[in-house]
Structure 1
Amino acid sequence: MVSVNLTDEKLNPFPGLRPFRPGESDLFFGREDESAGIAEKLLRNRFVAITGTTGCGKSSLVLCGLIPLIKRHASETGEKWNYIVMQPGKDPFGDLSSILARQNRDGKTLLFIDQFEEIFRYGIPEIRDSSGSDIKGFINLLASVVNGKYPDVYLIVAIRSDMISLCEHYRGFSDILNNSSFLVSPMSGKGFREAITGPIKAAGAEIDNDLVELLVSEVSECSDQLLVLQHFMLRLWIRWKEMNEPGRPVDMTDYSSIGTM
């Protein structure tokens, strides 16, 4: 395992309420099977729509699970990959057109469109939304990528599951979604254990096994499981660091001092 340098007091192996960022894959645990499943679909279909509830970890799964896996695949095969992350802004069609215009034949490109549902923030227009963004053109351009106009571009979109029905207004694209989608399910007990213990071990510390089992039991009863867990673990780590007892594992003392999950 790679050891992560967390000597800076401000650093924390848990992101809290924000997603994991690129470069934090050494702290990302518990989603190995999901990352492999998405990678298999992506390499086969050149497109995957990742769906799930708010806070289920879609962005983190792509940035710190899937992309590092594709990088390892590229290293093994000798392929060159480029990685681009975008979110729909005021002009999603123009932004996507610019990205595709810059693509060349020098390797493959993985394009990740995060928070895809943002294109619907002004409702469902026939052609254009109130900001002047050509939503239909944007979706048609995405469909052209999937259908082979840009054969070296591999596309990932992340969309909230409660918003995916809005895609039914665009028949061709809804068919594409049906052909290659991945629903991010709640973590298993094994996944939660890895998400708790992995970052702590990567940071050079330990955590009491009884506390791990208690946390897994408690988080399994929460509706926003990952958000609750990551926020609690961030606070737990801060408390443990404040005690300044590096030889002691994170234990029930720290848990009791900040309150239950």
Structure 2
Amino acid sequence: MARYALVVGITDYTNQLPNLTKPATDAEAVEQVLKAHGDFEDIAVLKGKVSTTKLAEALKTLLQQQAVKNEALIYFTGHGITVSDSLGTQQAYLATSDLTIVTQGNQIIEQTGGISLLSLNNLIRDSDLSNLVVLLDCCHSGEFLERNLIEKTFTAFISQRDYYFIAACRGFQQAYAKKSVQHSIFTTALLAGLSPENTNDHGKVTGDRLFDILATELKSSGQEPIRMGWGRSITLITHKNQRQVQTFEVKDECPYQGLKAFEAEQKQFFFGRKQVVRKILEKLAQKPFVPIIGPSGSGKSSVVQAGLIPELDDSVWQILPPIKPGFQPLQELRGVLKAFFQGAKKERLLSELITNEPNPLPVILEHLTGAEKFLLVVDQFEELFTVSVAEDKQRFIELLTQVVEMTDSRLKVVITMRADFLEPCLDYPSLNKLIENQLVLMPRITGVDLKQTITEPAKLQGHSVEEKLVLKILEDVGKEPGYLPLMEFALTRLWEKRDQQKHQLTLEQYENFQGLTGALNFHAENVYLYEDYQQDSPTQERNEQEKDWIGQIFPAISANGRGRKGHATAPTKS
């Protein structure tokens, strides 16, 4: 069965609608992916200035000629409009370059040109397709799905054919594009959803898999994608080389980090957070301050050290030594900048800038030499509200948030903070505003991403993970809050007990130490009993005083960071 596609990106509008900058490059990027991995017989591309006649002819060629008994895909990006009649009934249109409109107040009441969705529905209904995928990246595209589409507008979906329809936003929303990003918000997410990282076990990206990525990527973006499917699952593209078996040298070094955060040195073993890293980079391109916030144990520190930093071009960026606020956050900040203020006189200047100067950033930036851009990471920002001295808090926040007040600041700031400390931030307006606008949330790792965090590090070391073990871990993590540190620790124990002949991590060993919590409990028990515990060879038994101390510490650790607000808790992997 042959496949055909029509890709449309309209940038030029000759009348009342403004020109657009992204659609042509968006269309080119989508065409490249479809051409490389879609197995299409033909991909027609219309971009730039596209008349109503030209688009209508291309749609008729695709649906009435090429795709008869075959598969078809339509991607459209450009303006979308709705036209209201005197009774408030609306009809949606794909805007072409020669579209003209008549407005009354804020409403469009008349148009000439463009492609109405009602007409497109009739064309689809009368065609003889095997299946059809429609991807619309335009304002009000959800209008096509939300106004009784199945019953009124897209009656073509009631058939024996298979359809998958995705709109970039709801009917009352607009589809956005940011100047600092190469593609529109929707198409950026679309390309991520069509990437090799989003394939199933057969290297395929289906409509449902694509929409899962779109929904995740566009969350909190101001536009909400919606979908409608009918019939069987449709494969959009296939990464044919995705599942080729790779062979790796067998190595003994453990690729898992246990209760420690990943650092840049372990970047090759860090999986499952590409979408989050992409969001951080996008936020950094908008403003030089990005707060990364998530539950304790969600991997915030790891995503910065092993995800974000390796993505930054070291010929452009200098990464400053990361700091934690600690007891004296201003002293921590002074310590990291001291390398740029050499000599007693300049050290005094730095101290004055940090302590008293109302606008110190321009002078500090003058002294930051040796690179185009600088990144300061403030890890475990919640320490500011738990252990830092009160008089330092306001000043520390002022100094960090001042970076957004400068045009094109060369100093960028990324902070990581536990989600349960959002409330104290409300007392600091400058910080609270940045959190509202620049927040990157750390969602739970699920599905394919979670599976990769288990299997891919072992694969790089020439080992496999028994499929039954993967399924059992995936089942168990849903029962444990803050499961990532527990899972990583269990995997380090499994690595120690791996099958050395088969080079494999097995379900049998996992069950021997009773899963996620069992591995940590076993370790805790031996730390409690023995002073120098080395795998299975205990040496010196602890005295009663040491046992008492440890007995008080471990309950805090087992609480996994869920202490009372305003009180320090035992450190966890973040």
State whether TM-score is above 0.5. yes
The Cα shift of 1:259 comes to: 2.5
SS in 2 for 1:159: strand
Change in Cα spacing, 1:89 to 1:223, as seen in structure 2 (3 Å) is closer
1:17 to 259, 263, 284: 259
| Structure 1 residue 166 displacement after superposition | 0.7
Is 1:109 the equivalent of 2:409? no
In structure 2, distance between residues paired with 1:4 and 1:145: 46
Q: How does 1:35-184 map to 2 (within 5 A)?
A: 35-70=277-312, 74=313, 79-84=315-320, 85-97=322-334, 99-100=336-337, 101=364, 102-104=367-369, 106-122=371-387, 129=390, 134-148=392-406, 151-184=409-442
Asked if 1:223 is matched to 2:481, the reply is yes
> What SS does the corresponding residue of 1:227 show, helix, strand or coil?
helix
How far the C-alpha of 1:104 sits from its partner, in A, is 2.5
Q: Deviations over 1:11-68 (max 9, x none)?
A: 4211111211231111111111111111111122222101111111100011011111
Render the CA deviation track for 1:204-233: whole Å, top value 9, x for unaligned.
211122221221122122212212211111
Q: Which residue does 1:233 correspond to in 2? A: 491
Q: Which amino acid aligns with 1:111?
A: L
Any idea what SS the aligned residue of 1:163 has? helix
Q: Secondary structure at the match of 2:416?
A: strand
Equivalents in 2 of 1:198, 1:161: separation in Å?
29
2:463 pairs with 1:208: no
Deviation at 1:97, TM superposition (A): 4.4
Larger CA deviation: 221-230 vs 178-187: 221-230
Q: Against the structure 1 CA distance between its residues 117 and 189, is the aligned structure 2 distance closer, same or farther, given a 3 Å change threshold?
A: same
**Matches of 1:216 and 1:164 in 2, distance apart?**
29
Secondary structure of the residue aligned to 1:169 is coil
Contact 1:50-1:184 within 8 A present in 2 as well: yes
d(CA) in 2 for partners of 1:89 and 1:5? 41
1:27-38 alignment, distance < 5 Å: 27-38=269-280
Aligned-pair CA distance for 1:5:
8.5
% identical equivalent positions? 28
Q: Relative to 1, partners in 2 of residues 1:14 and 1:226: Cα closer, same or farther, differing over 3 Å?
A: same
The aligned counterpart of 1:259 is 514
Shift of 1:235: 0.9
Secondary structure, aligned partner of 1:134? helix
Moved over 6 A (4+): 1-5
Q: Which residue of 1 aligns with 2:500?
A: 244
Write the letter of the residue equivalent to 1:88.
P
What TM-score, normalized by structure 2, do the two folds share? 0.40
Letter in 2 for 1:113: V
**Counterpart-to-counterpart distance in 1, 2:369 and 2:276:** 30
Question: Structure 2 vs 1, CA of residues 3 and 65 (structure 1 numbering), >3 Å: closer, same or farther?
Answer: farther
State the shift of 1:249 in Å. 2.3
Query: Structure 1 residues 147-156 or 18-27, which shifts more?
Result: 147-156
CA RMSD of aligned residues (A): 2.4
Deviations along 1:111-138, one digit per CA (max 9) or x if unpaired, are: 1100111111258xxxx62xxx522111
Q: Quote the Cα distance in structure 2 between the aligned partners of 1:170 and 1:65.
A: 29
SS in 2 for 1:23: helix
Q: 165-174 vs 193-202, which deviates more? A: 165-174
SS at match of 1:86: coil
Amino acid aligned to 1:181: L
Distance 1:214 1:195 in 2: 14
Aligned letter for 2:317? W
Where does the alignment leave 5 or more consecutive residues of structure 2 unmatched? 1-245, 338-363, 517-574
Cα offset for 1:254? 2.5
* Residues 57, 3 of structure 1: alpha-carbon distance in 2 compared, 3 angstrom cutoff: farther
Q: Which amino acid aligns with 2:374?
A: T
Structure 1 or 2: larger strand share? Answer: 2
Amino acid at match of 1:65: G
Equivalent-residue separation in structure 2 for 1:144 and 1:200 (angstroms): 43
Q: Larger % of helix: which?
A: 1
TM-score w.r.t. the length of structure 1 is 0.84
Alignment length (residue pairs): 242
Q: Which runs of 5+ in 1 are unaligned?
A: none
Q: Report Cα offsets for 1:84-111 as digits up to 9, x if no partner.
A: 2111133312432454545226310111
Counterpart of 1:24 in 2: which secondary structure? helix
What do the CA deviations read for 1:145-190 (whole angstroms, capped 9, x no partner)?
Answer: 2222781011100011111211111112211221101110111121
Cα distance change on mapping 1:189 and 1:148 into 2, 3 Å? same
Q: Which has the higher contact order (CA 8 A, sep 6+)?
A: 1
Residue in 1 that maps onto 2:566 = none
CA contact (8 A) 1:13 1:203 kept: yes
CA contact (8 A) 2:256 2:488 kept: yes
1:224 maps to amino acid? G
Specify the alignment match of 2:123 in structure 1: none
Q: How far apart are the structure 2 equivalents of 1:153 and 1:4?
A: 41
